[in-house]
Amino acid sequence: MYEFTYTANASRVIFGRGSLNSIEQEVERLGAGRALVLCTPDRRELAEPVAALLGKRCAGIYAGAIMHVPIESARAATEHAGKVGADCAIAIGGGSTVGLGKAIALESALPIIAIPTTYAGSEMTPIFGLTENGLKRTGRDARVLPRTVIYDPQLSLTLPLPISFVSGLNAMAHAAEGLYARDGNPVMSLMAEEGIRALAKGLRALKQDAANPDARSDCLYGAWLCGTVLGQVGMALHHKLCHTLGGSFNLPHAETHASVLPHALAYNAAAAPEAMRRIARALGASEAEANDPAAAALALHALSQELGIPAGLKSIGMQEDDLDRACQIALANPYWNPRAIEPQPLRALLQRAWSGVAPQ
């Protein structure tokens, strides 16, 4: 029997090859006339065409986005936006750039347009992150949700394959946890399953041909679906663990998600069989195979191997000696998860995620 509450986040989404060309129209639609274009220092080439398309409506390029949004970078960007008289900001790039846009919106209430070029999904969420004195805090605020999101698959053609693959698994993590969320609903579950399916198809096709425009479109479509799920329902063990590992051990975001996800799913498998069935099905398992709750984690591990993603947290710089501390930190703040968070099984999960062996 269905029982749920569903509140949609209101953002306008424009999806399609060449949709970047609508940027001036979209700025105008917000009633804005001076847009500040944000990017990371190494990706000015993404921002320059946006500035060119905007012409007189561009208040300049600000190439100061940094991963995890240090508070000083957010303050400097907000000050710069004020100085140049910007009345909206356009974030083009991955989650780091969208994060800077959100920080500006939080401080100044400027409307944000996001043009994502990775699969992180931040553009669809009212969640912001700010790092102060080495500690990352996250929060929810409706002001930071981008008003308009332009998904143009052409823009991700230059995203290197290794980043594309781990970013795709980062997106799948939102959908996977959305499928067993305590506050989940049937619409989000449909989007989550379709998101995993589209990403699995797109990532496999990218492995064959990095320049395949249809594969880029599938991946970005999947990222939109998965990001929407992240913005609507609560996450659990997997996201909390990745937040701990990223924040306390300075591990890279998408790569951490890719290493942990099969093991977090294995941990929750018996407690969330319907979610596991849908995940396994979306990854290509037959109906009969998908009925085994262990199938989802194994299918994800197999996909990761097929894509050639480096195995385990050890491959991204985590020290084995730090696993005990990671476990203690993860146990310190209790949160909801379909299966109770128990010290010994959690420590075993971390060990397996570190070494990159098959999930169990």
293 near ligand NAD (CB under 6 A): no
Q: 204: burial class by Cβ within 10 Å (0-12, 13-18, 19+)? A: middle
Q: 287: burial class by Cβ within 10 Å (0-12, 13-18, 19+)? A: exposed
Of 259, 252, 256, give the one whose Cα is nearest residue 300. 259
Residues 252-291: x/- map of binding to ligand NAD (CB under 6 A)?
A: -xx-------------------------------------
Q: How many residues bind ligand NAD (CB under 6 A)?
A: 30
Nearer to ligand NAD, 158 or 319 (CB): 158
Using CB under 6 A, which of 70, 94, 202, 359 touches ligand NAD? Answer: 94
Using CB under 6 A, which of 125, 148, 228, 259 touches ligand NAD? Answer: 125
Of 119, 112, 90, give the one whose Cα is nearest residue 203. 119
Using CB under 6 A, which of 78, 167, 217, 228 touches ligand NAD? Answer: 167
Beta strands 112-116; 148-151: pairing state: parallel
Name the segment binding ligand NAD (CB under 6 A); options: 23-31, 41-49, 196-204, 296-304.
41-49
129 near ligand NAD (CB under 6 A): yes
Helix (H, G, I), strand (E, B) or coil at 139: strand
Using CB under 6 A, which of 122, 164, 185, 304 touches ligand NAD? Answer: 122
What is the smallest separation between the CB atom of 328 and ligand NAD, expressed in angstroms? 22
What is the smallest separation between the CB atom of 292 and ligand NAD, expressed in angstroms? 30
Residue of minimal Cβ distance to ligand NAD: 95
Query: Could you give the strand order of the β-sheet that contains 88-93, starting from the edge strand earlier in sequence?
Result: 12-15, 148-151, 112-116, 88-93, 35-38, 58-62
Name the segment binding ligand NAD (CB under 6 A); options: 152-160, 217-225, 307-315, 343-351.
152-160
Name the segment binding ligand NAD (CB under 6 A); options: 151-159, 201-209, 211-219, 272-280.
151-159
141 near ligand NAD (CB under 6 A): no
What is the smallest separation between the CB atom of 107 and ligand NAD, expressed in angstroms? 16
What is the smallest separation between the CB atom of 312 and ligand NAD, expressed in angstroms? 19
CA dihedral 6, 9, 10, 12 (to 10 degrees): -120
Contacts of 125 (CB under 8 A, 6+ apart): 9, 145, 227, 230, 231
Name the segment binding ligand NAD (CB under 6 A); options: 20-28, 92-100, 313-321, 324-332.
92-100
CA distances from 114 to 102, 118, 297 (A): 10, 12, 32
127 near ligand NAD (CB under 6 A): yes
Nearer to ligand NAD, 28 or 42 (CB): 42
Helix (H, G, I), strand (E, B) or coil at 167: helix
Nearer to ligand NAD, 129 or 293 (CB): 129
Using CB under 6 A, which of 19, 40, 268, 304 touches ligand NAD? Answer: 40
- DSSP character for 239? H
Write b or e for each residue in 311-328: b if 16 or more Cβ atoms lie within 10 A of its Cβ, otherwise e. bbbeebebeeebbeebbe
What is the smallest separation between the CB atom of 99 and ligand NAD, expressed in angstroms? 5
120 near ligand NAD (CB under 6 A): yes
**Contact predicate 242/256, CB 8 Å:** yes
What whole-number distance in Å separates Cα of residue 339 and Cα of residue 341?
A: 6
By the criterion CB under 6 A, which residues form the site for ligand NAD?
40, 42-43, 46, 67-68, 93-97, 99, 117-118, 120-122, 125, 127-129, 155-156, 158-159, 163, 167, 230, 253-254
